[in-house]
Structure 1
Amino acid sequence: MNDIPSKNSKRHVILTLLFTGWCLSYLDRMAMNVSIVEIAKEFHLSPSALGVVLSSFFAGYALMQVPGGWLADKYGSRKIITIAIIFWSIFTVFTGFAWSLLAMIMIRFLFGLGEGAYPAASSKAIADAFPKDERAKAQTIMMSSNSLGGVIAPLIATPLLVWIGWRNVFIAIGLLGIIVAWLLWYYLKPENLSENTGENETKRTEKPSFKELMKNATLWKLGIMWFGMSTLIWGLISWMPVYLTQVRGLDLLSMGMLTSIPALTGAVGTIIGGRLFLSHFYGKEKIYATLFSLLAILFLYLLFNAPSVALVITYQSLCTTFHGLVFAIIMAMPHQVFEKNVIGSSIGFINFLGMIGALLTPTVMGMLIEIFNGSYPAAFSYLIACAFLSVLASITLARPAESDVDMPAQSEG
């Protein structure tokens, strides 16, 4: 009985460190989106070329999702998390030394490969460290770091960019990553990730094959939902800095400060969604996910038709709030539906489909903006069209109890 507080304390430390790792990864990504205006000037990039630079990260990131999940399930989360952070931190530093468009594209692709292993590995660590009835909450708290990173990045990276230049920003962030990697390696010890879960779940003698996992309809529906919502959010993240400065006339510092507001509301939406998942959403996921997806689309439409900057930020904030609620459902359900020994692979596959959307979006939007001579409505319409896929997948989403998954879900109570 005396070791229960100690176990809980270790779980909280692990969750805090995983959260920090996500914040760092998001800070690295958002630093590029904040710096892209200056990078475009230095390298004389057209909108299409700018879109390719932004997409190059997602090419590597998407490519590593499924292998990263498999590696985490096979070799454990500790090794994969540490290697991933060190690898992406090295290429964050290299970003600051990029000498040409081609070099920037290759560096960002390799940076994406490093970050691509972290989502599934961190989710695997959650499954190893937390009891099954606590995983959904822990997962969504961890994933709220995505939006929080979007709050932190403009507030940190924008002043640094003005102060020391965009190249030094990436060098500083990369060095910080090495420190975070060491902390995670130190605290994610095997004794903290084993015999800790206290769970009452049936254990299979054999791990389901990847082919068996691919037959799971719920897995595909969650992946399609994330494709639609990922397209929406990464379209906004990638192009709103340029849109606000070039179309709405904001200066760099004002843009950085204002874009932190929608990121904060997105974090709030994700955290609220995680807290409500078991108490309100459980068994009604398709109703809530469909409703929240539709509301996110509505506010996206209002955003690019808004007559003022204040309304643009207001509608974007509401859009990211409802996106966060959908995101919470997407990331919480796997912990209720799948066994612990395939969490890495399942979340890796879901995130792979989501990152396909993120990979395509910056380039497609850049091409549409260029085709329409700097006009954004066609580019935003592309986001809306893809986001409707989330609505369609949500409508058909099975409740965990009705799921066709042959891996046992948690029973109520």
Structure 2
Amino acid sequence: MAQVARKSMTIPLKKPTRARFSILALLFIITAINYLDRTNLSVAASSIQKDLGLNQVTLGLIFSAFGWSYAFMQIPGGWILDRFGPRLTYAVSLCTWSITTLCLGFAKNFAGFFGLRLALGITEAPAFPTNSRVVAAWFPKQERAMATGVYTAGEYVGLAFATPILFWLLSNFGWQMIFIVTGIVGILFTFVWVKYYRDPKYSKAINKEEMDYIREGGGLAENAGEKHKITWSEVKQLLKYRQIWGISFTQFSVASMLYFFLTWFPTYLVQEKHMSFIKAGFMGSLPYIAACVGVLLAGAWSDKMVKSGKSLTVARKTPIITGALGACLIVLANYTQVPGLVIAIMSVAFFSQGMAATGWVMVSDLAPTKLVGLAGGIFNVAANLSGILTPIIIGIIVQKTHSFTGALIYMAVLALSGALSLLFVVGKIQRLELKE
């Protein structure tokens, strides 16, 4: 018996599989598609305006339509996620927003574009809550910030590297082809998602050792695919937690700078800093690359702190607060006209914004287990309110003062406020519990 026991003790332990990183690759690609489909209009806008005879007001309304419906549908989108689970929710969302994008290539007038942009906001609404839910299920807490950083980097990678392809399509085939190609890409990737995504307990790619690793690290592997009936009592409880409001305000503050870069940045370079369109187009891509690096660095830094024994509160807050404070440096661009220096300052600011953009990991860490989707919806409402307000507020400031100086100060004040919210409102980072 002793000999048998000794032999059994020599049996090597199986190594955990790494199926979670294949899942992360899926999230990265879908997020890149998501941002291409919401920003491709900016590339096509001038040609659309000329072909359809749209004025600046009607074009602005078309731009804003996505933000209104997207923000409005965040909480319902989170509820849908909690009700039907991530696999079905993402499949339907990705397919329907891609079909909507494809249809934009055949729009003939203002009403068509406005209605389809509203539909795009509705259909994309569950995307980021689903990302957060999937990361909470597939990744232990010591890897969760890294995972959040990787899929968030998909936003910037798409904007930095795919935009030249969209301009090539525009130049060679017309603005319609931008929407047709990006729509078809999303539709095709829906089949990839359905084929390869499974919640951990249903996945054939994961072994027991990886499942144990995720579960022991605080991942929600066991109940990732559970469908919950959400009661109004639970919703009210969630809304009473200051932590949810604190991280949501921080996200609003940080996302405001993102929307500056998505909307006003090219105009700022041309009108305020007097760069040519060619120079603005080339040099303007550099801050997006910097932001991509920033979000990946912040995720890796946060997880490294968790692994080294730092508290979850310190590990999650430190990169975001550091990034928010660094983003305040954007005001330095008010004091130079040198193009290279302007781009360097903007790159530092957007790098810092990228670091602060990993706030989704706190949704995974804080939200009650059965309300991760709903909490993500609330969080994303705050982010996308900035998408509605920031372009309008900056436009008012520039119109009244004939300068972007006040706009950069406005964004710096918001970034500072976001850092203070994390410091003094959110408190300890730990999973919130619902009362029975």
Matched, 1:30 2:39: yes
> What stretches of structure 2 of length at least 5 have no aligned partner?
1-11
- How do residues 14-53 of structure 1 correspond to structure 2 at under 5 angstroms? 14-42=23-51, 48-53=57-62
Structure 2 equivalent of residue 238 of structure 1: 263
2:386 to 357, 378, 388: 357
Change (3 A) 1:85 1:36: same
> What stretches of structure 1 of length at least 5 have no aligned partner?
408-413
Q: CA–CA distance in 2 between the matches of 1:47 and 1:362?
A: 14
TM-score by length of 2: 0.82
Higher relative contact order structure (alpha carbons within 8 Å, sequence separation ≥ 6): 1
Q: How far is the alpha carbon of 1:126 from its aligned partner?
A: 1.9
Q: CA–CA distance in 1 between the matches of 2:401 and 2:117?
A: 27
What number of residue pairs does the alignment pair up? 402
Q: CA–CA distance in 2 between the matches of 1:98 and 1:366?
A: 28
2:328 to 292, 297, 306: 297
Q: Could you tell me which amino acid in structure 2 is paired with residue 358 of structure 1?
A: G
Q: Could you tell me which amino acid in structure 2 is paired with residue 105 of structure 1?
A: F
1:389 to 417, 427, 430: 417
Please say which structure displays the higher CA radius of gyration.
2
- Would you say the 8 A contact 1:334–1:343 is kept in 2? yes
- How do residues 304-319 of structure 1 correspond to structure 2 at under 5 angstroms? 304-319=334-349
Q: CA–CA distance in 1 between the matches of 2:49 and 2:414?
A: 27
Q: How far is the alpha carbon of 1:70 from its aligned partner?
A: 1.7
- How do residues 52-91 of structure 1 correspond to structure 2 at under 5 angstroms? 52-91=61-100
1:12 to 16, 21, 32: 21
2:236 to 211, 217, 223: 211
Structure 2 equivalent of residue 334 of structure 1: 363
Change (3 A) 1:26 1:165: same
Structure 1 equivalent of residue 284 of structure 2: 259
1:345 to 369, 374, 379: 374
TM-score by length of 1: 0.86
Q: Alpha carbon RMSD of aligned pairs, Å? A: 3.1
Q: CA–CA distance in 2 between the matches of 1:319 and 1:41?
A: 34
- Would you say the 8 A contact 1:297–1:319 is kept in 2? yes
Q: How far is the alpha carbon of 1:100 from its aligned partner?
A: 2.7
SS across alignment from 2:284? helix
CA displacement, residues 118-153 of structure 1 (integer Å, 9 cap, x when unaligned): 111122122222334333321221112122122123
Structure 1 equivalent of residue 247 of structure 2: 222
Matched, 1:157 2:166: yes
Q: How far is the alpha carbon of 1:313 from its aligned partner?
A: 1.8
- Would you say the 8 A contact 2:247–2:426 is kept in 1? no
SS across alignment from 2:264? helix
1:168 to 157, 161, 177: 177
Q: CA–CA distance in 1 between the matches of 2:426 and 2:406?
A: 33
- How do residues 104-253 of structure 1 correspond to structure 2 at under 5 angstroms? 104-190=113-199, 191-192=202-203, 197-198=211-212, 199-200=215-216, 201=218, 209-248=234-273, 250=275, 252-253=277-278
Deviates more, 1:208-217 or 1:269-278: 208-217
Deviates more, 1:154-163 or 1:218-227: 154-163
Q: How far is the alpha carbon of 1:45 from its aligned partner?
A: 5.4
Q: How far is the alpha carbon of 1:368 from its aligned partner?
A: 4.1
Q: CA–CA distance in 1 between the matches of 2:139 and 2:423?
A: 30
Deviates more, 1:127-136 or 1:165-174: 127-136
Q: How far is the alpha carbon of 1:245 from its aligned partner?
A: 4.2
Change (3 A) 1:366 1:164: farther
Matched, 1:98 2:104: no
Q: CA–CA distance in 2 between the matches of 1:164 and 1:310?
A: 34
CA displacement, residues 147-173 of structure 1 (integer Å, 9 cap, x when unaligned): 212212323222222222222111111
Q: Could you tell me which amino acid in structure 2 is paired with residue 295 of structure 1?
A: G
- Would you say the 8 A contact 2:328–2:413 is kept in 1? no
